């Protein structure tokens, strides 16, 4: 008997403009639309899809000595100008050699970089969080 299981979430790859980056968490890969309501004079009530909602993605990663690419990216915002980048997030099999699902984020730019929580009583790794605004998400199932 063949049994299908959902794909585990722990094996994924993130590429920012074709350069791989190690992240330990990705969230916000949501696609949603506002709804519009319309009522006519005859008592009819209609609901329709409206404009797409803003897409906010959050990436979390460990802080490493000498690496500041995320800080450099958000610091480059000047005079309402920022470098927008395409990001690819791929969910893979256990060995990492087969793609299952790929999310392509188009025209992403940083809106917030959260510094790690510093705590003298903790032994946890330092984790920074990058929030992005994305124009569009395309999903491909392999």
Task: For CA atoms 64, 65, 70, 71, give the dihedral sign.
Answer: positive
Q: In terms of residue numbers, what domain contains 75?
A: 12-141
**Does residue 3 lie in a domain region?**
no
Q: For the domain that residue 104 is a member of, what is the CATH number? A: 2.30.110.20
**Does residue 1 lie in a domain region?**
no
Burial (CB < 10 A; 0-12, 13-18, 19+), residue 13, is middle
**Does residue 18 lie in a domain region?**
yes
With cut-offs at 50, 70 and 90, classify the pLDDT of residue 6. confident
**Does residue 5 lie in a domain region?**
no
Question: Average of pLDDT values for 25-43?
Answer: 92
Number of domains in the chain: 1
Question: Average of pLDDT values for 36-54?
Answer: 92
Structure tokens at 4: 């299908």
Between CA 42 and CA 48, with CA 46 as vertex, the angle to 5 degrees is 155
Q: What is the DSSP letter of 75?
A: H
**Does residue 107 lie in a domain region?**
yes
**Does residue 85 lie in a domain region?**
yes
Q: What is the pLDDT of residue 2?
A: 57
**Does residue 4 lie in a domain region?**
no
Could you read off the pLDDT of 65-116 as tens digits, one per residue? 887 888 889 988 988 888 999 999 999 988 888 999 999 999 999 999 999 8
CA pair distance 98, 100, nearest whole angstrom:
7
**Does residue 56 lie in a domain region?**
yes
């Amino acid at each position: 008997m063949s049994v299908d299981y959902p794909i585990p979430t722990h094996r994924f790859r993130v590429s920012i403009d074709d350069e791989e980056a190690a992240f330990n968490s990705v969230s916000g890969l949501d696609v949603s639309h506002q709804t519009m309501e319309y009522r006519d004079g005859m008592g009819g009530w209609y609901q329709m899809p409206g404009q797409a909602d803003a897409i906010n993605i959050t990436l979390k990663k460990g802080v490493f000595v000498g690496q500041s690419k995320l800080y450099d990216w958000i610091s480059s915002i000047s005079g309402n100008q920022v470098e927008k980048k395409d990001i690819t997030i791929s969910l893979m099999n256990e060995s990492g050699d087969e793609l299952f699902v790929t999310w392509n984020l188009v025209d992403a730019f940083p809106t917030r970089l959260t510094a790690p929580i510093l705590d003298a009583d903790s032994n946890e790794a330092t984790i920074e969080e990058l929030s992005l605004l994305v124009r569009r998400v395309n999903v491909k199932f392999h």
